[in-house]
Chain A
Amino acid sequence: MVKSTSKDAQDLFRSLHSAYSATPTNLKIIDMYVVFAVFTALIQVAYMALVGSFPFNSFLSGVLSCVGTAVLAVCLRIQVNKENKEFKDLAPELAFADFVLCNLVLHLVIINFLG
């Protein structure tokens, strides 16, 4: 039983991997960016757990910048993905322009709140 479940897990992983390799490159680039942002957020949370939350506004600002930009990147991915029927008529350039603008606003707020 254990052997079959581990074989199932391996099969699952392999199928996921092959399916993922089929995604277009631009989506993979967005995914990498999201992973980078979330990773940075996790590092900050670990640091706060170690040191304490003294300048809490700085902590929030740092975490929020990572999480916010990750969320915006996910939104971009949703809008740009050709398999997504909902945004079929949305031009990818418009999506990207929205992404850039939102990020600008986000970083402005972050720098203000950083203290």
Chain B
Amino acid sequence: MTTEASSETEVKENAEESAAQPDQSEKATRETQEVLNTEEEDKEKGKVKEKEGKGISRYLPTWLKKQKSLSQTSPTKETPPTEEPTSKVTEEEEVSAPEVNGHAEEAEEKEEVKSEPVKEKEVESNSNGSADTEPAKEEKLEESVQTTPEENKETTKEEDVAEEEKKGQEQETQAEAEVQEGDGQTSIFQSPFRLVRKPKMKVVVCHVTLLDGTDFSCEVEKRANGQYLFFKVCEHLNLLEKDYFGLTYKDTHDEKCWLDPMKEIKRQIRSNNWQFSFNVKFYPPDPSLLTEDITRYLLCLQLRDDVASGRLPCSFVTHALLGSYTLQAEFGDQEPDQPRPLDFISQQTFAPNQSKEMEEKILELHKSHKGMTPAQADIQFLENAKKLSMYGVDLHRAKDSEGVDIMLGVCANGLLVYKDRLRINRFAWPKILKISYKRNNFYIKIRPGETEQFESTVGFKLQNHRSAKRLWKVCVENHSFFRLNAPEPPTKARFLTLGSKFRYSGRTQAQTRMASSLIDRPAPNFERTSSKRISRSLDGAPVISITEAGRDMTENGHDPNLELQSDSKSQMRVHGDNIYVRHSNLMLEDHDKTQEEVLKHQASISQLKRSFMEAPPPSPPQPSQWEKRLTSSPASTIRVQQQQVVSVPQMETASADNVISDTKEPAKTTEVEIEETVVIQEVSKATKAGNVTVTSNSPAGPPAEQESSEQKVRSDEEVVVVEEANQTRQESVSSESESEEEAEYHPNVTTSISNTQIPEEKEEEDKLEGEEEGEEMEPEVPAAPAPSLPAEISQPAEETPQEEEEPRKETEEGMKDEVEEKQGDPETEESTDDPMLTPDETPKSFVPPEVEEEEQEEPKVNGEASAVDAEPRPHGICCSELPVVKTEMVTISDTFAAQKTEIATKEVPIVHTETKTITYEAAQLDGNGEGEPGVLMTAQTITSESLCTTTTTHITKTLKGGLSETRIEKRIVITGDCDIDHDQALAQAIKEAKEQHPDMSVTRVVVHKETELAEEED
């Protein structure tokens, strides 16, 4: 609350300032617009239209502008800027901007232009200022990066203020801004960056299935974040009230996931499947409060599909009634002499089991709607649909504490528990104190009742950690959207890096309503596409028409299975209502502790993060490059991002495409550290088993520590794919799991609180310390954290490793090979932390923040780290908490080799722990580890929704005589549900390895499969 208040005041100040020069600023903006328009012919027309029509864009620009403006304003406060200067600046920008910026910038500019006219004077003024400011701001960012945290704070403050101003408008914008900044990280070097960037920009065609079944394709920069695409779609749809909607994609397990607007698309989707669908994300409880008919129309389209597919169950009569409104909306009054109405109606799907009787009933009811306009029919449709008990309920399959199959439904009011079709419990948002997940467990902490003294925690088991995380995210988003006036303050979200702290990044319902009330445009004309649909369906076009979609369960993205089965025959019956498990507060407390710790560190960390954040650009860009390389893996299931830590970064770079990838790596490394220890142990085990082949051709094994970089490099890649049952994997991947697995969210708490609490625990913890679970793990982790820096790592490793190792031994990851073992282990662990995040998000964003933290506070890092991870980019993904510790990682992300090396050094301590492990495992490696120079190691963990993949890459360079050999060992640990396709995973891994190191030969592939150990059941 306090933060908000302060921010508001600040905002006011800004507003005043802006107000002072409104007219001038407007002029300036218009001028800029004109210029831009001329430049961009296509967009020109938009001027007027843009104002009205492209509402989405306007927000973005404003925000950007604001940010910029803010930056200026803050300095300006003392000397308020005059209008003239601003205008000049804008002009300059205009000129430069188009050329310099990649698409993204252009888009931004456009948006800005559009937005400016639309917005109120304040906005405009801000925007103008912002435009001017941009350059300045970037500079600041750069400075901040290098500068001390304090400075960063200031900058962050400014940003915060700006953000808050926008409050009403959106966090999304912020996110975008961040992203953009991120893209431009280099922005620090603005112009150069852009120039550089252009050539690298890759464009991808995205296919978005719209609600009317049509397919919308657009080109998107490969590194674009989700929001960019979403806005593109909204623009195409001419949709202003877009906050109720979102884009979904299918993860590797073919489960529907919401595309996180804040994260890069590329990192979220499975490789190369740029297929999305546009869906309603938040079903407005009262659709009549929507401002525009077009919004209601889109909602109708979604609901028609929901109804037709059976996701939204309703009775025969209701099916008929809704169907009749659909007919009225799409075809108007029924003509008395309409030929063959039944045939015509049969082409449309109104219900899962559509009978002649129903069609007749629909037609009968249709007659009674005579004279109703399409918009009226839509309203009637919605008025009836909204009353359905399952309206807006997002179902997730789960088990209660007794293993009974249930369904958890997330909706505007809270969390519903169903057994078959029966509601057996309900937890309204106000009753829920905390939402968390750990591995495949999902917990809600319940406010004590009147007669109860203690809070209780209810636990549910999800199918796997992905499911748990997905459910958790949905809960966080729904709570934020429907219960909060404003999303949690971005500042906290940004800067607090507790584990993976996913937060809702968009506007809340309250905010979107506010924004909607400001919509001032004539009702847009839009075409109802029923006719299209029909024709398509007849054609058998691949495109999914709504009607067709209805039948196709999967399309909706909802798991058909998830839907309540009315028959319920198949499902087990639970005794009564026991869904709940009351736990002693132990679990909760643990979480809390971690949180507390995190909080303690937060301040310091936050500072670092802020600076980091400001620096933002580094992370995003890196990942993209990285991804490109990595993405090779066709198998969607496993996305392996390799975070490679190069012990001798420079040296190895040669070999190293892998190494290069580091940008992301750093972050991961941090996380990895803790986990790494675990891994190491596992590795050792693995080796025992014989599964792991450490030695590769290159003598490197024992290898010379010194790197003679230039000489021939032979690399052997060993790919070890370990697939574990879901549970097991967690352990093995522990690091990953930790970060991903656990997350907390305190709904009731103000935004700030919620952020802190959301920490996610990693799976590793469980494995390692089943009992300890999240908390213990976290703390330890920090110690271990030594990111992946190879050389140093080996030394320090000894200290921490033991403790961690033991627990971790349990983990099966052990796959890592000897050389890598020491270094790699740590890395791997990090990766493990990331896993959740890793998949797409983690790497870039998360890493950096953590790294910073590490530097400052290594010990505490664990708890904090988790928090940190989450914040940076990806609110959505929970980062491993542990990772946070390794702040340095962040630096690495920047791409600069130098930084990397530095980081490595810092990381070293962590490494030490690992080293010990290494020692255990392989004698050969030991030598290497000590020999710093010879070994590069990178560990990345990528977590896709379905799988956690941890890739550890050890690079060993050996000088023999005059020849240097480079051996690359990759250990890939895949933790997934039972459904993992091992063969595919292996094939992918090999393929990737080849692609990444075309000049190297794969000398050895060892596959070790582990089924789950009996997981301790929390």
A and B: bona fide binding partners: no
Q: Which residues of A contact B (CB under 8 A)?
A: none
